[in-house]
Amino acid sequence: MPRSILSTLCIAALPLLLCPILLSAGTKGADPKTAPATAQNQGEHLFAVNCGRCHQPPMSIPPRATGTIIMHMRTRARLSRQDEQALLKFMAP
Amino acid sequence: MKLWWIGTCILLTTCWAGAQKPDTDHTDAGYVPVLSGTFGYVQNVNGGVTSLEPQVETVLLVPFGSHVLLESRAEFFGFFQRENQTTGPFTGKVFKSVDYAQLDWLANTHVIATAGAFLLPYGLYNERLAPLWIRNLQDAPITDVIGTRPSGTGDGVMLRGNAYETPAYSIQYSAYFSTRSSINQLESSRLAGGDTSIFLKGARLEVGESFQHTLQEHQINNSGTYVSWQPERFPLDLKAEFDRCFNGEGYWIESAYKLSQVPLAPAFFSRVQLVPRVQQFHPLNGGGNSLPTKDTQRFDIGVNYYFRDNFRLVSSYGRQFSNQANANIWNAGVTYRFVWPLWPGRK
């Protein structure tokens, strides 16, 4: 394929890749400096941060399966034991 | 036959493992065996040729206490095409495979020991993004086969874990050795490799590097560098990877964005996800080995609609440019993820 077509393609793709940033310019997010205050909040924060690295965070996990699922995710995401405990407290308090 | 044997053994183990007590009493979390997975159906049109692809992925998780986990994934993949590609009735068959079957010992934060047939931790895709309910675009990147031959699985042992962690960042690692195997459903190459990544918690940015050395035949090296970023201020998931091996090198960049910040009809747009991806591959030494033999570029744009977090419609359009032939690729389908506890519990 001619390089010019490829360049055009990449240039066309760039706005699509960057559109989220453009669309959300000026929107307010959480203050990253705000440290999670409680263990529950810490778990919620870790849930959003760690699960979102690979997939949409799932909302519907039966509590009796939570320990097993978190073991699986700890293995896959190489989470620390401390993070595992915080996630358990958030998902099955 | 082997698949049935493995399934039977795992189910028997499930019964024995039934109600295991965790080593923590601080939460209501249960440690019962779980059957999870995805039902999916995708209709694919590639260069005018339609294929129907019903798929079922099942993941069985059997815990032994809170430190030992037996996990396995089996896949049933149907592939049906018209008899003469574009005319005639649909014919095809259902393929079945065991993607992995491994035993994990979660010793501590720094060491998780794994033995058995495990997914090769190479790059972002094979281990993390490949499941049907996770992947944003149904077609894998061109370079996905780099570092994952022949089946994406290694038979042997692996150590992995969190090497070092501070409030600002964490460093993860994986190191493995796989033996050569031609056993049906457990094919693997003799190789050694590893993966390490640093995750910056504040920026939600992960940068990683995978390396693999094949210890058979040509003894080639594979390497991959990847980036994953989920900024806190907007619902974006940006991933990119560059891979290189003896047969070629290439990259892909994928951005998944949920339209939850569109002010119009938020109930609808917050469920819509846009997924553009660009990728380019350049063959080296003639290419081949499941990789293109000519320069190839591809652009995809996907639109997914989430009815719920576990149920979505998926669709995408792609255009592949190659010196051999250009092609349009369409995908449309549905995926549904399930989680079924296999043992009665409190809730």
Summarize pLDDT for B109-138 with one digit per residue, the tens.
999 999 999 999 999 999 999 999 999 999
CA A48 – CA A83 distance, rounded (Å): 12
Q: Is there a domain that residue A48 lies in?
A: yes
CA B36 – CA B52 distance, rounded (Å): 24
Provide the shortest C-alpha distance from residue B297 to chain A (in Å).
8
Contact B299 A23 (CB under 8 A): no
Provide the shortest C-alpha distance from residue A54 to chain B (in Å).
6
Domain of A79?
A: 3-26+36-91
Q: Is there a domain that residue B25 lies in?
A: no
Contact B162 A79 (CB under 8 A): yes
pLDDT at residue number B128 = 94
Q: Which residues of B touch A69 (CB under 8 A)?
A: 34, 36, 61, 339
Provide the shortest C-alpha distance from residue A35 to chain B (in Å).
10
User: pLDDT tens digit string along A1-19?
Assistant: 445 444 545 555 554 555 5
ipTM above 0.95, yes or no: no
CATH number of the domain to which B83 belongs: 2.40.160.10
Beta bridge partners of B280: B251, B297
| Both tokens assigned to A66 | 């939570």
Q: Is there a domain that residue B26 lies in?
A: no
HEC-encoded secondary structure of chain B? CHHHHHHHHHHHHHHHHCCCCCCCCCCCCCCCCEEEEEEEEEEEEECCEEEEEEEEEEEEEEEECCCEEEEEEEEEEEEEEECCECCCCEEEEEEEEEEEEEEEEECCCCCEEEEEEEECCCCCHHHHHCCCCCCCCCCCCHHHHCCCCCCCEEEEEEEEEEEEECCCEEEEEEEEEEECECCCCCCECCEEEEEEEEEECCCCEEEEEEEEEECCCCCCEEEEEEEEECCCCCCEEEEEEEEEECCEEEEEEEEEEECCCCCCCHHHHCCEEEEEEEEEEEECCCCECCECCCCEEEEEEEEEEEEECCEEEEEEEEEEEECCCCEEEEEEEEEEEEEEECCCCCC
Burial class (CB in 10 A: 0-12, 13-18, 19+), B1: exposed
Q: Is there a domain that residue A81 lies in?
A: yes
Neighbours of B232 (CB within 10 A): 17
> Among positive and negative, which fits the CA dihedral B246, B135, B117, A83?
positive
Domain count, chain A: 1
Burial class (CB in 10 A: 0-12, 13-18, 19+), B243: buried
pLDDT at residue number A48 = 86
Q: Which residues of B touch A23 (CB under 8 A)?
A: 234, 257, 261-262
Contact A71 B341 (CB under 8 A): no
pLDDT at residue number B149 = 85
Residues of chain B with pLDDT below 50 are 1, 10-22
pLDDT at residue number A37 = 55
Q: Is there a domain that residue A31 lies in?
A: no
Domain count, chain B: 1
- Please check the confidence at residue A22 and state whether its pLDDT lies above 50: no
3-state secondary structure at position A2 = coil
pLDDT at residue number B186 = 86
Q: Is there a domain that residue B132 lies in?
A: yes
pLDDT at residue number B2 = 53
Contact B236 A81 (CB under 8 A): no
pLDDT at residue number B19 = 41
CA A75 – CA B113 distance, rounded (Å): 9
Q: Which residues of B touch A54 (CB under 8 A)?
A: 128-129, 134
Q: How far is CA B129 from the centre of its chain?
A: 4
C-alpha distances (whole Å) from B125 to each of B47, B57, B141, B224, B237 are 25, 16, 8, 11, 14
Q: What is the DSSP string of A6-63?
A: HHHHHHHHHHHHHHHHHHTTT-----TTS---SHHHHHHHHIIIIITTTSPPP----H
Q: Which residues of A touch B261 (CB under 8 A)?
A: 23-24, 27
Give the contacts of B29 (CB within 8 A, at least 6 positions apart): A63, A66, A67, A70, A88, A91, A92, B22
Q: Is there a domain that residue B171 lies in?
A: yes
Provide the shortest C-alpha distance from residue B284 to chain A (in Å).
17
Which among B257, B323, B346 has CB closest to A19? B257
pTM of the full structure: 0.85
